[in-house]
Structures are given as C-alpha cells and as structure tokens.
Amino acid sequence: MNQSNDEIARAPHVPLTRYYADESERKGFVREMFDSTAEDYDRMEHILGLGTGLWYRGQALERAGLKSGMRIVDVGVGTGLVAREAARIVGDPRLVTGVDPSPGMMKNARIPEGVAMVEGRAEEIPFPDDHFDFLSMGYALRHISDLSVAFREFHRVMKPGAKLCILEITCPESAWGRFLLKIYMKGLVPLLAMFVGNRKNTARLWRYYWDTIEACVPPATVLATLEASGFTSVRRHIEVRGMSILAEYQATK
C-alpha cells in the first residue's frame, strides 16, 4: 500500500491552544500535567472505566501475540497498568521494561518487583536496535509529538518478527455515541475528579484527555503511518463492547 504525504501523520492532533500556545510548549505542558496528577491517576482511571481495566489490557496483549518468555518494552508506561499484565503473561517481571517521560507517573507505579522503569520518550527510546520481542503502548499515542518519528523508533528497538500493540480510545462513529462519550468524559469524569482527586489539576487532566481523543487523527492515518514506518501485517482490532471505542493497533516488524 502506498501512502501519500497527506495520509502520514506527524503530530497526533493539532495544537490544543486552550492548554498551551503551540507545539513547542506541548511537551512541557504534558509532562507537568501528568507529573502533577500522578497520585490520582489510577483512582480516576478506575472511575473512567469504559472497559479499559487490567483484564482488558491483558487480553489485548495476548491478542497481539505476547507470550511467555518474551522481552517487552511498554512505552508510556505511566503507573504501570499495562506493565503489570505484561509481567503476568511473560512470566518474569525482569523481562518487562517501562519507558515514560514523567518521573511522577513512574514514581506512583504499582508494578511487580523486577520490572525496570526508565525515563524516556517514544521519539527517543534509550535502548539499542533489535532489542525487544514485543512493544506496547497503552492510551499514550495522543501524547506523542511526532507519530512518524515515534513509530520509526518503535521499529528500531524491536527485533525482526517482534509484535506491536498500541491501545487507544477513539470516538464512536455515530454522532449520538460521540455526544454521550463527550458528556461522560469531559463533563462527568472531571466533576467526579473534583470530589475524589487529591490534586488540583486532576479535573483539568481529564478534560484535556477528552480533547485529545476528539482531535486525534483518524485510525486510517495511524495505520498508514505504521506501514510507512516499516511495519507489516498492520491492522486495527475493535473490541465490541459498550460504544465500541476500544481499539488496538497491531503490527509486526
């Protein structure tokens, strides 16, 4: 499949200027936002729900081909929700590495002993070529500065034949579904955050979370960008649950 330049993504969405002035400020804003709300993240993620709990993450990893004994890197590891399931599946926490640009998120991670946590960005992963059997990313694609750069970096650190699994939330196809999800994620969840969160920025984080979902490039563009980065067997799996917003991008090096 040949892609035009218009089909290949750079930024996952246009700059959201209500939060930062331009793309040059985005990286600092995102890091500060996640650092300052890390204490509340797992609690709010549990409230957000939408089927994205540990059991779903584990199923998604297994669907994409994660097996016992594989060495996996989880990019955008955050508080370790994907890494925990990865450690269970591969059978040895020492085979799991988490990479994240937010020290605050990693400090609040609840992970099995042996999982390595390394500060780093998707666009510049601090590991050598052909190093991992599997690469995962859970709900962090929208926070990357350049998808093309990140996907080429993913390809670089993966061994030939290694598998990729990117979990994401995408807008429902129907206008009614998008309206309901927006009310829930931009209205109800931030309201709940004001009562159950301990950090003042937590409500704002979840409003930003929705805005990145609404503004994100379409799935076809993500698939085209993966193919242009050298991946094969690129596909998108939709888990038919609720409003069908849970998507998994799967690929092979």
pLDDT, tens digit (0-9, with 9 covering 90-100), for 189-222: 777 767 766 667 778 888 888 899 889 999 999 9
Q: Please tell me the predicted confidence (pLDDT) of residue 51.
A: 45
Q: Select from 109, 108, 117 the least CA-distant residue to 199.
A: 108
69: alpha, beta or left, given left = phi > 0 and alpha = psi -120 to 50?
left
Can you list the positions of beta strands (E) in the chain? Answer: 72-75, 96-100, 116-119, 132-138, 158-169, 232-239, 246-252
Torsions phi, psi for 23 (to 5 deg)? -60, -30
Percentage of the chain lying above the pLDDT 70 cut: 89
The answer, yes or no, to whether residue 238 has pLDDT greater than 80, is yes
Which amino acid, residue 201?
A: N
**How does pLDDT run across 95-121, given as a tens digit for each residue?**
999 999 999 999 999 999 999 999 999
pLDDT score for 162 = 98
Tell me the pLDDT tens digit for each residue of 118-168.
999 999 999 999 999 999 999 999 999 999 999 999 999 999 999 999 999
What's the rounded mean pLDDT across residues 165-185? 84
Share of the chain above pLDDT 90, in %: 55
Q: How far apart are CA 87 and CA 168, in angstroms?
A: 20
State how far the Cα of 144 lies from the Cα of 26, in Å rounded to an integer.
10
Residue 76's region, left for phi above 0, alpha for psi from -120 to 50, else beta, is left
57 vs 181 pLDDT, higher one: 57
pTM: 0.89
